[in-house]
Amino acid sequence: MNNQENNKFLGEENITKLLFKFSIPCIISLLISSLYNIVDQIFIGNSELGYLGNTATGIVYPITIIAVAFAWALGDGASAYLSLAQGRNDTVNAPKSIANSILVTFIISLIMLFLGLIFKDSLLYLFGASSNSIDLARDYYLIILYAIPVYMLTNSMNGVIRADGSPKFSMFVTALGAIINIILDPLFIFKFHLGIKGAAYATIIGQIASFILSIIYYLKPKTFKLTKNSFKIDINVLKNVIKLGISTFITQMSIVIISLVCNMMLFKYGESSEYKSDIPIAVIGIVMKVFSIVINIVIGIILGAQPILGYNYGAKKINRVKETFKKVAIMTLIIGVASTFIIELYPQKIISIFGSNDTLYINFAVLAFRLFLMFITFTCFIKVSSIFFQAVGSPIKSAIISLGRDIIFFVPLVIILPNFWGINGVLISAPIADCLGMFLTIALIINFFKNLDIENTEIEQKNIYLKKSHPGVIITISRTHGTKGKKIAKLVAQKLNIPYYDKEITALVAKESGLDKEFISNISNSNKRLYDLYLTTSPVKYAIEAQEKIIKKIALNGSCVIVGRASDYVLRNNDKVIKIFIYAPLDYRIKNIMKMYNDSLESAKKNIALSDKNRANYYEIISNQTWGQKENYDLCINSYLGEEQTANIICDYIEKLKK
């Protein structure tokens, strides 16, 4: 299915059908990932180790999340970079980004291994180990720690496999490790009596199997090829990979902060309760694993809805955006309410899956499930809304919702409330944070839909067409803000009697892609936001691809002048292209902007700086080259000479080239 067909599919197909098509694979993949986190605790809890064994795994869990934070950040960054490189046919830097991410992931894993061995007991005590659980935690931790390089590399590589167009293989990589873990856990724990070490061995053998499968894939990927040179550190490429993966890192580290603070409070106030510290830490570890199953189902739904939401938002098909969100919200509420019903009515049956007949343990588990997950429906809606805002290109709202519930509300509450209600204060922190987070989420959702501007540009788009021309040169003009570059470009087109293209390109792209003109225009005028949009929404990729297609069509149509949009790079393989860059002294540009827009001096300076930064950023994303670098152009000219004079020089230069 080509992009135009895919656009029509996302914009016209029944939304329920689309949700089933895209969401079910996401849900399956996430549930498989959940198995990794929950299987060990089921078998350990039902062994002679009991709840102390689960306490040990709960203590080690945040440390593995730190490893995943680095691995996913570098893997997601490389995946995003691969997508960008594919869009610009960059076969040099794409493999560099992947190889560099692998190399840095490996280096970080060795550092974590080294530091983890030196500070092993300090870390375990920090995450809630007691004198009763430290030996078990240490046994489990050391085995998991030695395999941390394999674990991190697998997680980093898996994201790239998905981006390479093999999501099913990526899912199989994860599934293989989970299945091996499930098979080996009972063998090692019960048959060979290896206890908690057996659970750890089963886990790392599964990880090694997944790693081997990932290596096999990397020997023959679809869109890139790694060589020895790919593994040479390239600071510029690596910097972009880190930029693209930083949001993933922040999200994962917020989980670490929550786990760390929660375990510390459970240890502190658990010691002064009848439960002591080991039971609360073991129980909350299980509660969070059960919670992860529910949350992964709703996250799978909204992840599947991302391309539907993103495309229709970009196309200004607001009714379809509303319908998609409404259906996702209804599904989320159904799953949340059903989960709440099961958790509130049958907590003892849930906890029995994880073993242990200790009365205090069961009593606290029942209390924890009923209090901690009281408003799991709200949590689900909060997470879904956060990803919804990513899909429609609002990463700031997404971050506010996600960090609001977890960091701004939950962390302070879990520190403050136990001072008044002891261990119960830890448990009621979650539902209160859920309520506060829900109020914030609803406010942002209502505000978002209230302010949506519905415009119909269909009629305007139908009347757009390519202008008549004749064979000859194609002149691309890039310019710094305030140089009067557009006026000069128009003069050049008039003097040479050839078509001029600027805003007309946006209209043609809108017609080609089905996306809204304003949405397309905003893409090339964005800075950091473009990265977020590119990662989270398919319409940006469609729009950029459609824009490149239109620019190439314009060039094939005949001689013309094209302004901006990285057209010099898009047409780099066209031998008829003449690349011009127009610049001017800052004072001259400031005066022009003040005159054109009636700006103040300070406002003009800010507008010039922002506009130039956005153009440079867009150009770098599209081409991986530096905007305004003289080596990239045939002619760089100072427009301080005046519009007419500058246009004449450009025309004279072109005439000389023809001879």
pLDDT in tens, 86-112: 656 667 788 999 999 999 999 999 999
For the segment 401-418, what is each residue's pLDDT rounded down to a tens digit? 888 998 999 999 999 999
SS (H, E, C) 127-175: CCCCCCCHHHHHHHHHHHHHCHHHHHHHHHHHHHHHHCCCHHHHHHHHH
How far is residue 588's CA from residue 607's CA, in Å, rounded to a whole number? 14
Element (H, E) at 524: none
Closest C-alpha among 123, 551, 444, 387 to residue 543: 551
What are the structure tokens assigned to 497, written together? 């009697």
Q: Where in the chain is the domain with CATH 3.40.50.300?
A: 458-658
Taken in order 72, 73, 77, 83, is the CA torsion positive or negative? positive
> Taking residues 476-481, what's their average pLDDT?
93
Residue 460, pLDDT > 80, answer no
Domain 458-658 adopts which CATH fold?
A: Rossmann fold (3.40.50)
d(CA 659, CA 657): 5
- Are 45 and 54 within 8 A, CB to CB? yes
Residue 290 reports pLDDT greater than 70? yes
33/203 Cα distance (integer angstroms): 13
Contact (CB, 8 A) for 395 and 350 = no
Determine the pLDDT at residue 28. Answer: 84
- Residues near 305 by beta carbon (within 8 Å), at least 6 away in sequence: 18, 19, 22, 23, 324, 325, 328, 388, 391
Residue 426 has pLDDT above 90, yes or no: yes
Q: Is the confidence at residue 431, as pLDDT, over 50?
A: yes
Cβ neighbours around 594 below 10 Å, total? 17
Task: Write the single-letter amino acid at 346.
Answer: Y
Helix axes 50-87 and 93-118, enclosed angle (nearest 10) = 160
Q: Which residues of 493-521 are buried (b: 16+ CB within 10 A; e: fewer)?
A: beebebbbbbebbbbbbbbbbbbbbebbb
Mean of all residue pLDDT scores within the chain: 86
What is the per-residue pLDDT for 459?
36
Pairwise CA distance, residues 244 & 79, whole Å: 9
Distance CA 560, CA 552 (A): 12
β-strand 560-563 against 577-583: which pairing, if any?
unpaired
How far is the C-alpha of 315 from the C-alpha of 302, rounded, in Å?
Answer: 19
Q: For position 455, what pLDDT does the model report? A: 42
Distance CA 82, CA 69 (A): 20
Which single residue is written with the structure tokens 């530096």?
626
Query: HSE on the CB side for 201, CA within 13 Å?
Result: 13
Confidence of residue 175 (pLDDT cuts 50, 70, 90): confident
Q: Cα angle vertex 457, ends 453, 461, to 5°?
A: 155
Total count of residues recorded for the chain? 659
CA angle 320, 324, 329 (to 5 degrees): 145
End-to-end CA distance of the chain: 46
Reported confidence tier of residue 515, pLDDT bands at 50, 70, 90? low
The Cα–Cα gap between 131 and 277 comes to: 10
Q: In whole angstroms, how large is the CA radius of gyration of the chain?
A: 29
Q: Which amino acid appears at position 273 of this protein?
A: S
Task: Decide if 280 contacts 426 (C-beta within 8 A).
Answer: yes
Find out whether 341 and 39 touch, Cβ atoms under 8 Å.
no
**Burial letters 574-593, b for 16+ CB under 10 A, else e:** eeebbbbbbbbeeebbbebb
Contacts of 157 (CB under 8 A, 6+ apart): 75, 102, 211, 214, 217, 218
pLDDT at 659: 63
pLDDT bucket at 584, cuts 50 / 70 / 90: very high
Q: What is the mean pLDDT of residues 130-137?
A: 92
Task: Please state the three-class secondary structure of 428-473 as a single string.
Answer: HHHHHHHHHHHHHHHHHHHHHHHCCCCCCCHHHHHCCCCCCCCCCC
Mean pLDDT of 242-258: 80
Please tell me the predicted confidence (pLDDT) of residue 3.
47
